[in-house]
């Protein structure tokens, strides 16, 4: 016959070790020695969770700024946020800064009280442009002394014309529409 096992805390007898273990778990559970994780393990786990959450948060911020800055946009039509600077010429081969474009919408070549400028922007990086498109657009800068021509990165259209408060966009070159926008008068054909 198996030897009985006695509970040291309440002096009760049990048939075997398994019975004593079940008794201790049921009656003396708060007194059981609970295996505690070492403090260093808890700190590592907590810092790990913090780093993961912080990383996700930081990734979200970086992603939002990157997507905003790489988003396609159209050239400006207002003066808000302009700088007192003029472009080096009326035909520019590199993109004209948005703040400079805003200043040219206010007045041509920075001359106070002067007529507001018209800016022709094109995007031949993302669109297929005809061989003579850029030279055709640049001819308007020679024809009108208040017109500027420059490329514009990430623009969702091939051609955009802006003047203070107005914008027109084109997917194809149309000299009559462009000149009408610039002058406000439909040119005579001939």
Question: Has residue 36 been placed in a domain?
Answer: no
Assess contact for 189 and 176: CB atoms under 8 A. yes
Is 132 within the bounds of a domain? Answer: yes
pLDDT per position as a tens digit, 52-98: 999 999 888 877 766 555 455 889 888 887 788 888 899 999 999 88
The string of pLDDT tens digits covering residues 138-171 is 999 999 999 999 999 889 999 999 999 999 999 9
DSSP, collapsed to helix, strand or coil, labels residue 122 as strand
Inside any domain, residue 151: yes
**For the domain that residue 170 is a member of, what is the CATH number?**
3.40.30
* Domain assignment present for 174: yes
Domain span including residue 148: 98-183
Better pLDDT: 40 or 164: 164
Q: Which residues contact 131 (CB under 8 A, 6 or more apart)?
A: none
Residues 6+ apart with CB under 8 A from 63: none
DSSP state of 178: H
The verdict on residue 136 lying in a domain is yes
User: Is 108 inside any structural domain?
Assistant: yes
164, part of any domain: yes
Report how many domains make up the chain: 1
Flag whether 166 is in a domain: yes
């Amino acid at each position: 016959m198996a030897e009985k096992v006695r509970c040291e805390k309440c002096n009760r007898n049990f048939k075997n070790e398994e019975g004593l273990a079940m008794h201790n778990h049921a009656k003396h559970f708060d007194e059981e020695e609970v295996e505690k994780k070492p403090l260093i393990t808890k700190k590592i786990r907590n810092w790990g969770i913090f780093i993961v959450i912080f990383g996700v948060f930081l990734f979200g911020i970086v992603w939002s700024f990157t997507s905003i800055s790489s988003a396609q946009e159209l050239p400006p039509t207002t003066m808000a946020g302009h700088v007192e600077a003029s472009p080096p010429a009326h035909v520019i081969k590199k993109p004209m800064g948005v703040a400079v474009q805003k200043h040219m919408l206010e007045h041509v070549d920075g001359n106070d009280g002067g007529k507001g400028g018209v800016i022709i922007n094109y995007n031949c990086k993302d669109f297929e442009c005809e061989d003579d498109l850029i030279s055709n657009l640049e001819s308007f800068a020679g024809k009108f002394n208040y017109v500027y021509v420059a490329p514009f990165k990430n623009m969702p259209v091939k051609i955009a014309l802006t003047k203070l408060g107005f914008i027109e966009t084109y997917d194809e070159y149309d000299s009559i529409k462009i000149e009408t926008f610039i002058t406000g008068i439909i040119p005579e054909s001939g």
